[in-house]
Amino acid sequence: MREWDPQAASAGEVQSLVETVNAALAADLPDDPPWQDVQVREYLAETMPGERRINWVAEDDRVAEGDSHIFAHVSILLLGDIGVLEVLVHPRLRRRGLGRELVAVAARRAYHEGFSSIGVEAIGDTPAIPFFESLGFGREYVETRSVLTLSKVDWSALDEMAGGISSGYRIEYYPGGPPEDMLEAYSLAKLEAQVEDGDLDLAPRSSDPQRLKDSLSTLHKRGLKPYIVLAVHEESGVVAGLTEVVVPAQHPDRADQYDTIVVRDHRGYGIDRAIKARMLFELRSAEPHLREVQTWNAQHNESMLKVNAELGFQPDRDWYEYCADVAKLVQRLEPGH
């Protein structure tokens, strides 16, 4: 096992990591699309300014000189005061203590860097749940993932939704991200939603214009292409609602829904339905390979779940955020404990 710099890795190493990711997906999430070996290095190496991601791999080095075959990977993203962990072991090599060893290495580093807690996302109905519970992680938050299949969308119903917004609002579409002169108004809408939200912030929102700019540039560098649809309140010029979808170069057939926000004063005017419906039309023409869109919602967010159901999203699995105290985790993972 060794610390690993994705930027300096050989093409063979990156390819073997993608194979391991795909073997894990086939075992744990057979309905999820496999990864392609596109911008994987950048996906793992690039972070927001001020954040760092440290990677380690377990490898079989009995291959050609200077190359290796990666069969397990762990990374920790150090952001603010929390370390966000991701860990992966090839299905063929599970239940031999490798996952535990990888988490121990990352946790020790977080401890030495002065971090007090570690968070991780674990997907319901996969081995990650008993694994993190066995390590003493506690469940903090749950969301339901839903998936929409574009070929099953009722486009004429969607057309009505897209046009069903009250007068006084204008819808705008920005592939690549909002333009410079909208950043201020855009961040204000994000800020309001952040205040309302109780999420553990494993992926903090970008609610000031500079952070938003950094966040968009980081997305592009990681191969994650953002699409934005927003509703502008014509009288005041404020951003009344926004929805963000990202198409990852690593799995361009399934896009990820990021934030959808309707600012409190502008709720009840059909904005949520209209911006999401418009987004699906835009994605259909901009991304001909796209087949699905996935989204995550808190179970208490009933109005958004209702709109998603109308659009054709089908609930898929629960996703959990787990958290552990770093010092306790390091102690628990000491050899012989």
Residues contributing to the site for ligand COA (CB under 6 A): 21, 24-25, 28-29, 87-89, 94-100, 123, 126-128, 130-131, 134
Least spacing, CB of residue 101 vs ligand COA, in Å: 7
Q: Which residue, 17 or 277, has its beta carbon nearer to ligand COA?
A: 17
Least spacing, CB of residue 250 vs ligand COA, in Å: 11
Least spacing, CB of residue 242 vs ligand COA, in Å: 29
Q: Which residue, 95 or 337, has its beta carbon nearer to ligand COA?
A: 95
Least spacing, CB of residue 128 vs ligand COA, in Å: 4
Least spacing, CB of residue 141 vs ligand COA, in Å: 17
State the residue number with the nearest CB to ligand COA.
Answer: 99
Closest by alpha carbon to 260, among 201, 202, 189, 321? 189
Q: Which residue, 87 or 106, has its beta carbon nearer to ligand COA?
A: 87
* Helices 302-311/271-286 angle, 10° precision: 40
- State the sign of the Cα–Cα–Cα–Cα dihedral 233, 193, 149, 39: positive
3-class secondary-structure state, position 20: helix
- What distances in angstroms separate CA 287 from CA 62, 175, 244, one per listed residue? 41, 11, 15
Q: Which residue, 24 or 232, has its beta carbon nearer to ligand COA?
A: 24
Residue 83 corresponds to which tokens in the numbers above? Answer: 């370390």
What are all long-range contacts of 107-110, with beta carbons under 8 Å and residues at least 24 apart?
107/324, 107/326, 107/329, 107/330, 107/333, 108/330, 109/54, 109/76, 110/76, 110/78, 110/83, 110/326
β partners of residue 232: 170, 239
138-149, strands of its sheet edge to edge? 2-4, 52-60, 69-79, 82-89, 117-123, 314-325, 138-149, 292-298, 254-262, 239-248, 224-233, 169-175
Q: Which residue, 25 or 293, has its beta carbon nearer to ligand COA?
A: 25
Least spacing, CB of residue 255 vs ligand COA, in Å: 18
Q: Which residue, 24 or 280, has its beta carbon nearer to ligand COA?
A: 24
Least spacing, CB of residue 335 vs ligand COA, in Å: 13
Tokens 């991601």 belong to 53
Q: Which residue, 55 or 215, has its beta carbon nearer to ligand COA?
A: 55
